[in-house]
Amino acid sequence: MKKNFKLIMVGVIVLSALSMTACKGNKTESKAESKTESPVANTVESTAESASSEDLNGTYDGSVYINKVFNIKFDAKTVNMEMVSTEDLSDMQKKTHDDTLKMYAHDTANSSSVLFGLVNITSDLKAYIDGNIARINKDNEGTGDIKAESTTIKFLGKDAPCINAKLTANGVTQYHTQVFLESGKDVSVIVINAKDEKVIKDCLNAFTKAQ
């Protein structure tokens, strides 16, 4: 049963490594390349400049997390979860030496969780997603039946690139989903872990527009 932990924790692992680039290629892009339309969901009108660090952090109102940069609002109570306090979140950031994790909620049994964090991608999002899928498959190799794939879902009325993973081991099935969002130059990801596919859907539906 211990091996199943890898997929559950990959959300935290992914977020603690978000500051890493997707590939080691040329970091400079031509103007023509930079104008290529990104497949990431545009939840708000794109802007030329990156948002401020304070705005990217988002705000809390009890069990509700709001991020106006990406135009999302998540109420943990609607899916019977509790929000990790800002103090505990700060401790997690210090332990991982990374401040990209902005929101973390979980149920009382710690069997389901919802995370939100920033992604630092200097090249191609598809390569970043492919890299995450490869890591999920590698980290869970030999633990059971693992299936991880990229897809596109409707999120708040927009098409959003997504990773869906499913691991079955020792008679237990675990689900893992990552949904990528974009606002101007900034990219973020919602990560959901659960033992029930319906919980994944319910958590996605618990997100509404911030404005």
Q: Determine the pLDDT at residue 49.
A: 62
What mean pLDDT is reported for the chain?
A: 78
Residue 193 above 70 pLDDT?
yes
Residue 163 above 60 pLDDT?
yes
Helix (H) or strand (E) holding 41: strand 41-42
Strands 172-183 and 41-42: parallel
Q: Determine the pLDDT at residue 184.
A: 85
38 vs 128: CA distance, rounded Å: 13
For the ranges 74-78, 100-104, 115-119, 192-196, the maximum mean pLDDT occurs at: 74-78
Question: Which two tokens mark 15?
Answer: 């977020």
| CB neighbour burial string for 22-36, b if at least 16 within 10 angstroms, e if fewer | beeeeeeeeeeeeee
Q: Determine the pLDDT at residue 65.
A: 96
Are the C-beta atoms of residues 74 and 105 closer than 8 Å to each other? yes
Unique residue bearing structure tokens 């401790």: 91
- pLDDT band at residue 126, thresholds of 50, 70 and 90? confident
Residues of the chain above pLDDT 70, percent: 75
68 vs 192: CA distance, rounded Å: 20
For 42-99, the pLDDT digits (tens) are 444 444 466 787 889 999 999 999 999 999 999 999 999 999 988 888 888 888 777 8
Q: What is the DSSP string of 21-57?
A: -S-SS-S---HHHHTSPP-SEE-S---SSPPPHHHHH
27 vs 145: CA distance, rounded Å: 36
